[in-house]
Amino acid sequence: MTNRGNLKFLFAVAAVVVLIFANQSAFAAIVVENLTGTLSIKTPTGEVITVEPGQPIPQIPNGSNIELITGTADISASGTDVVNLLINNSTAVVKDGAKVSVTVELRTGDAMMNVMIGSVQVTQPDGTIQTISQGSHFSAPAPAPVSMADQGIPGTNPADNTGRQGDAKQGIIGAVKGY
């Protein structure tokens, strides 16, 4: 190969390297490791990705929201990359090289976050912001269940019972067995 051929080859290689790194810079260096449960990722564009145990974890764009539904996972964000970790009704901002370990209990839904490296800020449902430092943890109990009656779903509130058993006894509607 001539010098001119070598130069063209080097430029071609350099162009490919630049394209590869330019493409990767669109994604944050957000890493999820040791996933044992279900993970939900919502990208800044609104795309929702669900990752089950054993599935490959996709590249996670900077500014995404991550929620561990069940199980455990270690989550980190390097440099200026940021990921919002939803922990029940609280949100932890993982950035600046911080790394956390999160566990969500399958039976109760209670969550625990341990800060392994750095520190994270947690915004609680009442708006309180708390900084959790390396070696410390944050507990987030599962939210209390809301009954369907409290949600206003028709037919689920006992007070809305139309008295169909009484109507049956009076012969207004057909007899209902067992009443």
| pTM to 2 decimal places | 0.66
pLDDT tens track for 101-157: 999 998 899 999 999 999 999 999 999 999 999 999 999 988 877 666 666 666 555
- The number of residues in the chain equals 179
6 vs 115: CA distance, rounded Å: 50
CA 165 to chain centre: 46
Q: Which residues pair with 91 in a beta bridge?
A: 86, 123
Alpha-helical runs (H) found in 82-147: none
What is residue 46's three-state secondary structure? coil
pLDDT tens track for 35-54: 999 999 999 999 999 999 99
At 23, list the tokens: 């493409």
Structural contact between residues 115 and 132, judged by C-beta atoms closer than 8 angstroms:
yes
Query: Which domains occur in the chain, in start order?
Result: 28-140 (2.60.120)
